[in-house]
């Protein structure tokens, strides 16, 4: 039942119907207050997706970031891929923003004479 509710909400959001997508996402969330990581991640995905479609960029970034954080600790990657290209795009934007933020910090450190150490890539 919950899986079908998630799919219905995702279908509405895929079609660009934010109002219906949010209504179905709320219904999905009301089906259970499960603290299981997959359920929490799916609720956050629907929230981020609907926020993105409603041009609520900050909320979309926050919710998809929280979903990724939870997924990382439980090795749940496929839920994002199965949710479709719009969700994968949200994750990609999150990665791009994080990289850009690291670059801005590096540039600021270089301007002030600090040694820049990039720890994002493995040492040879």
pLDDT-derived band at 33, boundaries 50, 70, 90: low
Q: Work out the percent of the chain whose per-residue pLDDT is above 90.
A: 54
Compute the 3-state secondary structure of the chain and give helix, strand, coil in percent, each to the nearest 5.
Answer: 75, 0, 25
Q: Does the pLDDT of residue 22 top 50, yes or no? A: yes
Give the orientation angle of helix 37-53 with respect to helix 85-111, to 10 degrees. Answer: 80
Contact present, 13 and 26 (Cβ < 8 Å): no
pLDDT in tens, 65-108: 999 999 998 889 899 999 999 999 999 988 776 655 554 554 55
Measured between alpha carbons, how far is 12 from 87 in angstroms, rounded to an integer?
14
Per the structure, the count of domains in the chain is 1
Does residue 117 form part of some domain? no
Task: Kindly report the number of other CB atoms within 10 A of residue 122's CB atom.
Answer: 5
Which range of residues forms the domain containing residue 103?
A: 2-111
Position 77 scores a pLDDT of 87
Instruction: State yes or no: pLDDT of 115 exceeds 90.
Output: no
The answer to whether residue 15 is domain-embedded is yes
* Run of H or E including 116: none
- Give domain status of residue 122, yes or no: no
CB 49 within 8 Å of CB 79: no
């Amino acid at each position: 039942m919950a899986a079908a509710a998630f799919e219905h909400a995702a279908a509405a959001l895929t079609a660009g119907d934010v109002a219906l997508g949010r209504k179905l996402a709320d219904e999905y969330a009301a089906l259970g207050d499960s603290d299981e990581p997959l359920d929490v991640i799916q609720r956050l995905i629907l929230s981020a997706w609907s926020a993105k479609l409603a041009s609520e960029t900050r909320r979309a970034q926050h919710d998809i970031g929280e979903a990724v954080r939870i997924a990382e600790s439980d090795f749940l990657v496929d839920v994002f891929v199965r949710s479709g290209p719009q969700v994968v795009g949200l994750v990609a934007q999150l990665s791009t923003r994080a990289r850009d933020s690291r670059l801005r910090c590096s540039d600021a450190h270089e301007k002030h004479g600090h040694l820049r150490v990039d720890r994002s890539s493995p040492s040879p």
